[in-house]
Amino acid sequence: MGPLIPQEIIAEGWNFFIAFVVGVGFGFVLEQAGFSSSRKLAGVFYGYDTVVLKVFFTAAVTAMLGLLYFSLFDWIDLNLVWVNPTFLWSAIIGGVIMGAGFIIGGYCPGTSVCALSIGKIDAMIFFGGIFIGIFLFGETYAIIKPLYMAEYLGNIKLSDVLGISQGTLAFFVIIAALVMFYVAEIAEKNFPRKEY
């Protein structure tokens, strides 16, 4: 049955409307969970608050298992689900830059929009930095394009790279999540946040 748009079950014009509704819902859930707080987000890196890690890992595992079960019941064709193309060097360098920004600023792009929407000043500054970064990227694209497009690996999946089934990969991801939850609990006990 799904995905709905590639199989022309619903018109392509619904794309942006669905994205808007999902985005607003996602932002609402983020704010209700307290992810508009840079202290809560930075707590992951300092070990005193690992709620963000637990929530996002739980969401990833839930979505992964949902897609696998939908595929099992022929409710979705996983071969039609879009997989972003991989450019190895731009993924590595972009990950390092975003990770550094996350640690320094206390936000990722999504949570900064969430915090911006409720009027947090630090999020406004962080979001301004995103636009500066986008501008600089656009202005220097001709220079950095060879690096940006280097090591094109296609639309690969981790299960294909490892040569295992998607179900086996899901099992290992669940085990990794459980181990990470256990380590997160230890970290919270050993690195409590100091109140000043």
Domain that holds residue 34: 14-190
User: Considering only 25-39, 62-76, 157-171, 178-192, which range has the smallest mean pLDDT?
Assistant: 25-39
Give the Cα separation of 160 and 158 in Å (integer): 5
| 7 occurs within a structural domain | no
| 58 occurs within a structural domain | yes
| 82 occurs within a structural domain | yes
Give the Cα separation of 149 and 189 in Å (integer): 43
Instruction: Give the pLDDT band of residue 175 (cuts 50, 70, 90).
Output: very high
- Ranges assigned E (strand) in 29-161: 86-87, 152-154
Per-residue pLDDT tens over the stretch 46-73: 888 888 888 888 989 999 999 999 999 9
Please give the tally of structural domains in the chain. 1
| 5 occurs within a structural domain | no
Taking all residues of the chain, what is their mean pLDDT, rounded to a whole number?
A: 88
Burial bucket for residue 141 (CB in 10 Å: 0-12, 13-18, 19+): exposed
Q: Is the pLDDT of residue 196 over 60?
A: no
| 195 occurs within a structural domain | no
Contacts of 8 (CB under 8 A, 6+ apart): none
| 79 occurs within a structural domain | yes
Q: Is the pLDDT of residue 179 over 90?
A: yes
Instruction: Give the pLDDT band of residue 33 (cuts 50, 70, 90).
Output: confident
Per-residue pLDDT tens over the stretch 73-109: 988 888 888 889 999 999 999 999 988 888 888 888 8
User: Considering only 2-11, 25-34, 105-114, which range has the smallest mean pLDDT?
Assistant: 2-11
Give the residue, 90 or 11, on which the prediction is more confident.
90
pLDDT at 2: 64
For the entire predicted model, the pTM comes to 0.77
| 196 occurs within a structural domain | no
| 180 occurs within a structural domain | yes
Instruction: Give the pLDDT band of residue 142 (cuts 50, 70, 90).
Output: very high
